[in-house]
Amino acid sequence: MALELGGLSLQQHLMKMSKVTYVGTTSCAIGCWLLGLLRVPCLSPGVATFCKDSATPVAAEEGLSGLLATQKGDVGCYGNMDEFTQEELRALDSEGRALLTQHKIRTWEGKEKILTLINVYCPHADPGKPERLAFKMRFYSLLKIRAEALLAAGSHVIILGDLNTAHRPIDHWDAVNLECFEEDPGRKWMDGLLSSLGCQTGSHVGPFIDSYRCFQPKQEGAFTCWSAVSGARHLNYGSRLDYVLGDRTLVIDTFQDSFLLPEVMGSDHCPVGAVLSVSSVPAKECPPLCTRFLPEFAGTQLKIRRFLVRLKDPVFRHSALKLNNKTQVQMHQNKARVRSTRPRPSQAGSRRGQKNLTSYFQPSSSHPQASPNLELPSVGALVTPKTSEKEVMAKVVEGQASASEAKDEKEIQTSFWKSVLGGPLSMPLCRGHREPCVRRTVKKPGPNLGRHFYVCARPQGPPTDPSSRCNFFLWSRPS
């Protein structure tokens, strides 16, 4: 059984969505790719899970709180959520950040068990928006309550997705230069969720294990996310934000490997995965949340009538009918006005029917006809006298002078417009490499919003690497 999570790979063509999990089998494969939007507005985060027929889930549910549950084919087991208000739970599930699927698995001993897959895209804590950090921590708390409730009900649990936190200093390239790295609330939450590294039994805190660090506890440079703006992926200057977390018993008994795929391009994240020694037992039918039940995927052509909604509000219907009548009256008035402005045909040519083609070639009465007595000039009168050689040379010199004047005038106009428009400015050279810089724009809200500045064009990397970006910075002069 394989678990994969990360950037665009097999589903690159699916609109570049946010987070998508793929579930299938080779011996049984459960995988996750960072892609997708599921029933949330555009530009919102979102997760989705793709399942092969051989890994059809027995239940599926959107959200962690249970407020989006339909009571048919849901996963259930919500735990004690008394610390949250209904409004808070609704807000935490309003961004489409969690999707649960429940599968039957068979171990190598032949025992059938339940595995719940929690596919998440945890919120990002923007330093400029303190309220988002609070939102992120509340989401973390809700995720832990739901996962522990599922474990208490006897299900194995895997949490996979973008947790948006680099857990240990080894998971972040620049952890040494970050203030209070260990004191970050997100890292403290992960400390409480995860057991100590390694698969040995002993003192541990949380019920889950980071599967990658279980198999690769000391692997440095194992990152899954890089800044696309600064080109940091070229020098592997990133962090590990994407995880496959399994409950302790499941990891120790069934996990065979856990890996990253940084060579797979297409996103600022890369796929990660794990291999389990189990097989899946597919359900006989898909849960109601499955997209195959949506009309868009029914395989039949939709009628335009399906996209029209009946008017139920009598006030709105009356205003709509009034507007429709007013529009029709205005259309009739416009047609009458157009008819009145059309030129009327003359009485002589008022016969209806198609005109004869020859009528368009008859001579017009407004132009006088040529007189038959008009005398044409003789051929001899049309012959020009022979021009002298001096006159020809004078004309040539005069033409060259006028051409030179026109050329000078064009150059003057060109130089004028160049002085007015200026053209693109030459890029300054960075001091570290003496190479042309790139111009960036400040997008962070503040007094410098919209200002332009120059930085080194090389990709971001460790300060000790001479091939990485130097610390050159220069504000652009206002035009």
Q: Are 216 and 197 in contact (CB under 8 A)?
A: no
pLDDT of residue 142: 97
pLDDT of residue 312: 57
With a cut of 70, say whether residue 177 has pLDDT above it: yes
Q: Which of 74, 93, 269, 454 is catalytic?
A: 269
pLDDT of residue 414: 81
3-state secondary structure of 235: helix
3-state secondary structure of 390: helix
pLDDT of residue 283: 92
What whole-number distance in Å separates Cα of residue 45 and Cα of residue 92?
Answer: 12
Q: Which of 121, 237, 243, 454 is catalytic?
A: 121
- C-beta neighbour count of 419 within 10 angstroms: 8
What whole-number distance in Å separates Cα of residue 251 and Cα of residue 271?
Answer: 19
What whole-number distance in Å separates Cα of residue 156 and Cα of residue 116?
Answer: 6
pLDDT of residue 7: 42
Q: What is the DSSP string of 327-352?
A: HHHHHHHHHHHHHHHSPPPPSTT---
Query: Do the bridges between strand 242-247 and strand 208-210 make them parallel or antiparallel, or are there none, so unpaired?
Result: antiparallel
Percent of the chain at pLDDT > 90 equals 40
Amino acid at 44: S
Considering only residues 31 and 394, tell me which one the structure prediction assigns the higher pLDDT.
394
What whole-number distance in Å separates Cα of residue 158 and Cα of residue 247?
Answer: 7
| Residue 121 annotated as catalytic | yes
Mean pLDDT, rounded, of the chain: 78
Distance of CA 347 to the CA centre of its chain: 68
pLDDT of 346-378, one tens digit each? Answer: 544 445 567 777 777 766 555 555 444 545 455
CA neighbours closer than 13 Å in the CB half-sphere of residue 98: 31
Tokens, residue 137: 């921590």
Q: Which residue has the tokens 């029914």?
A: 298
Q: Which of 88-102, 207-221, 379-393 has the lowest mean pLDDT?
A: 379-393
| Residue 174 annotated as catalytic | no
What whole-number distance in Å separates Cα of residue 44 and Cα of residue 33?
Answer: 17
What whole-number distance in Å separates Cα of residue 148 and Cα of residue 17?
Answer: 29
What whole-number distance in Å separates Cα of residue 444 and Cα of residue 453?
Answer: 13
With a cut of 50, say whether residue 239 has pLDDT above it: yes
- C-beta neighbour count of 145 within 10 angstroms: 18
With a cut of 60, say whether residue 382 has pLDDT above it: no
Q: Are 49 and 99 in contact (CB under 8 A)?
A: yes
Conformational region of residue 270, where left means phi above 0, alpha means psi within -120 to 50, and beta covers everything else: beta
pLDDT of 273-283, one tens digit each? Answer: 999 999 999 99
Number of helical (H) and strand (E) elements in the chain, helices listed first: 8, 18
With a cut of 50, say whether residue 289 has pLDDT above it: yes
Q: What are phi and psi of 87, to 5 degrees?
A: -65, -40
Q: Which of 162, 171, 242, 247 is catalytic?
A: 162
Which whole number is the average pLDDT over 435-440?
91
Which whole number is the average pLDDT over 49-63?
90
pLDDT of residue 366: 52
CA angle, 385 as apex, 381 and 389 as ends, to 5°?
A: 165
pLDDT of residue 463: 80
What whole-number distance in Å separates Cα of residue 456 and Cα of residue 453?
Answer: 10
